[in-house]
């Protein structure tokens, strides 16, 4: 029953956005007018024996809803009226009520599925909106029927399940066909149920999109059971939260995902195909990496998707078995076929063009070695082809030029830059070919310049956090701005011209250590972050100065405007698509998610 209430809440607030969108409502009305209702009624009538007069009345009422949009409360009253027409005379006969209710739900589901089938065959642009409204109607119908049976048998609604109610009937009445029950006062019961639903719908009406995203993601970490139930609900209704969302699973656990920065391939009509690098995590001793091809719908002249936003299957272009752990992997920006991979012992350099399409094991051009065991962070220079940085598990940063000749398949680092303690991430500056930054367990943010061959003297340094600094990201629009994440559960924004003072401090949404932070390649003030939870947070620093009402003060910081949930466990990696704004990928151990931040929230 708790799941029913939660589902109703989520669906009601999502349906509200559709009901208030006149363009969507007009499109739904247009698509509905093209449905072959005669064929739908014939097929449904053959199976269900539906009352055609009632079916036609429901169809007409629904068309009027699209022409003259109704509130959620009005829709609730209408659905209650439909249930009342089907189950009025048998409400005092428990067995008959139970039987008729089950038959009604079966007929309702079958007829609506035939309607959705017709919309599917016609490739109706508003299919997603119809699907959402249908889910809301189905859930509310179940709710109404449960409440009617609950009132009839004088049991709490949570007990209204087929096996429970059958056992109850048999224990109390024996052969049910010989018995009837006098229901409790129907007026009181109906009033109570109606008031409860109205309160629920009003709550959903007041809950705006930002609140819903944060609340739903936060609730997933309460307990393992709550997390599982919320995950099921989230995945079931994910298309309501994202303009586009696709989920993929593999037989091996995911550990990393990186969009590959290259021109899109022409896919099927209406789609652009983009490449993504995927790999197993450190938990998988026989690591694998693969290049996948994924389709993203193109926009037409009106700015809308040129095809229905139904996910296309991801196509595996290449796959390679390493026979070792995959700690990190990264493609060279100047040549996407060249890739560096951190394993348990070395950094391996591959050229995909020299590997067959089939799965290979241990095929690499050279081993890259520094003075110490490599860590878990790689960074290719975006300007100088072949320059690669890697942070070690100890206190050094290795720099290689892979264009240099190797010795027996081993290439030693050109330079090793030193930290005081373990280094957690290293990154080249996206706007300066000689600058890079690093953060580590010494809590410092260090800025280095390769023009100065000084192993232990960065050109800039700052105590970035009170605890270990875990990650960093340079802004692609401003040469001075950099973000750092820390074990102190915060994100710090810095101007490297004055590292004595932070520009801004952001508190981690999930109250966990910030493991990854990455600026958007398309929006100057937008960055994403993840911690140890099942969410990815999107921040927009341009919203910091936004005027806030008293009601919005409780919604959290204004710069946190989107939280992506739906993962079945900790998110291990995420990546911005470099070609398509607001498209991201993220992985947990079980699945890859590819999603788009809703346009309604971006505006």
| pLDDT tens column, 181-207 | 333 333 333 333 333 433 333 333 333
- Sheet containing strand 490-495, edge to edge, reads 469-474, 481-486, 490-495, 504-507
Provide the CB-side half-sphere exposure for 212 (13 A, CA): 27
Say yes or no to pLDDT of 578 above 80. Answer: yes
Task: For the chain, count helices (H), then strands (E).
Answer: 13, 31
Mean pLDDT, rounded, for 407-413 = 86
The per-residue pLDDT for 238 is 53
Kindly list the distances between the CA atom of residue 562 and the CA atoms of 209, 409, 524, 596, 602, in Å, as whole numbers in the listed order.
9, 47, 16, 11, 9
Burial pattern 114-152, b for ≥16 Cβ within 10 A else e, equals: bbbebbeeeebbbbbbbbbbbbbbbbbbbbbbbbbbbbb
Give the residue among 464, 493, 471 at the shortest CA–CA distance from 481: 493
Which spans in 431-555 are helix H? none
pTM of the complete model: 0.62
Q: What does the pLDDT look like over 510-522, one tens digit per residue?
A: 889 999 999 999 9
Q: What is the dihedral of CA 136, 28, 232, 516, to 10 degrees?
A: -130
CA angle at 313 for the pair 307 and 314, rounded to the nearest 5°: 115
Residue 127 vs residue 232, higher pLDDT:
127
Give residue-wise pLDDT tens across range 308-321: 444 556 777 888 88
pLDDT tens digit string along 431-450? Answer: 999 999 999 999 999 999 99
Q: Torsions phi, psi of 120, nearest 5?
A: -65, -45
Residue of 51, 40, 48 whose CA lies nearest to 102 = 48
Given the structure tokens 């890079």, which residue do they identify? Answer: 436
Q: How far apart are CA 55 and CA 44, in angstroms?
A: 10
To the nearest whole number, what is the mean pLDDT of the chain? Answer: 76
Write the burial class of residue 277 (CB in 10 Å: 0-12 exposed, 13-18 middle, 19+ buried).
buried
């Amino acid at each position: 029953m708790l799941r029913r209430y939660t589902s109703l809440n989520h669906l009601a607030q999502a349906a509200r956005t559709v009901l208030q969108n006149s363009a969507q409502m007009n499109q739904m009305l247009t698509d509905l007018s093209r449905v072959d209702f005669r064929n739908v009624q014939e097929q449904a009538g053959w199976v269900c024996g539906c009352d055609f007069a009632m079916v036609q009345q429901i169809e007409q009422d629904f068309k009027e809803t699209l022409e003259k949009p109704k509130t959620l409360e009005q829709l609730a009253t209408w659905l209650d009226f439909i249930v009342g027409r089907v189950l009025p005379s048998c409400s005092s006969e428990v067995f008959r009520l139970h039987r008729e209710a089950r038959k009604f739900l079966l007929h309702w589901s079958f007829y609506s599925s035939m309607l959705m089938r017709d919309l599917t065959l016609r490739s109706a642009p508003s299919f997603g909106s119809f699907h959402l409204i249908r889910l809301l109607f189905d859930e509310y119908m179940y709710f109404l029927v449960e409440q009617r049976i609950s009132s009839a048998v004088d049991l709490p609604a949570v007990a209204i399940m087929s096996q429970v109610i059958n056992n109850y009937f048999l224990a109390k009445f024996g052969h049910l066909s010989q018995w009837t029950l006098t229901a409790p006062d129907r007026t009181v019961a109906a009033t109570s149920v109606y008031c409860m639903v109205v309160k629920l719908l009003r709550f959903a009406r007041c809950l705006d999109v930002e609140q819903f995203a944060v609340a739903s993601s936060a609730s997933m970490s309460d307990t393992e059971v709550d997390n599982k139930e919320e995950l099921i609900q989230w995945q079931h209704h994910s298309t309501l939260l994202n303009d586009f969302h696709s989920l993929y699973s593999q037989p091996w656990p995911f550990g990393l995902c990186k969009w590959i920065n290259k021109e899109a391939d022409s896919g099927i009509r209406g789609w652009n195909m983009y490449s993504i690098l995927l790999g197993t995590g450190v938990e998988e001793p026989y690591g694998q990496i693969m290049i996948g091809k994924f389709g993203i719908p193109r926009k037409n002249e009106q700015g809308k998707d040129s095809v229905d936003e139904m996910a296309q299957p991801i196509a595996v272009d290449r796959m390679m078995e390493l026979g070792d752990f995959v700690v990190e992997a990264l493609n060279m920006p100047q040549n996407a076929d060249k890739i560096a991979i951190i394993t348990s012992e070395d950094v391996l350099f591959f050229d995909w063009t020299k590997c067959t399409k089939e799965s290979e094991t241990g095929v690499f051009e050279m081993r890259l070695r520094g003075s110490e065991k490599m860590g878990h962070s790689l960074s290719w220079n975006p300007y100088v082809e072949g320059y690669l940085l890697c942070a070690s598990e100890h206190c050094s940063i290795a720099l290689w030029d892979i264009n240099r000749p190797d010795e027996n398949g081993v290439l030693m680092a050109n330079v090793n830059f030193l930290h005081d303690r373990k280094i957690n991430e290293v990154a080249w500056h996206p706007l300066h070919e000689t600058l890079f930054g690093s953060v580590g367990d010494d809590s410092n943010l260090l800025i280095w310049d390769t023009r100065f061959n000084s192993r232990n003297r960065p050109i800039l340094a700052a105590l970035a956090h009170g605890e270990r600094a875990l990650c960093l990201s340079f802004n692609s629009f401003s040469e001075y701005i950099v973000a750092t994440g820390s074990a102190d559960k915060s994100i710090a924004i810095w101007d490297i011209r004055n590292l004595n003072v932070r520009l801004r401090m952001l508190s981690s949404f999930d109250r966990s250590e910030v493991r990854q932070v990455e600026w958007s390649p398309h929006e100057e003030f937008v960055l994403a972050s993840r911690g140890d939870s099942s969410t990815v947070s999107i921040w927009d620093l341009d919203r910091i100065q936004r005027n806030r009402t008293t009601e919005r003060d409780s919604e959290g910081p204004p710069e946190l405007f989107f939280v992506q949930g739906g993962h079945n466990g900790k998110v291990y990696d995420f990546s911005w698509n470099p070609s398509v704004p607001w498209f991201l990928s993220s992985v947990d151990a079980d699945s890859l998610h590819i999603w788009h931040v809703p346009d309604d929230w971006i505006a």
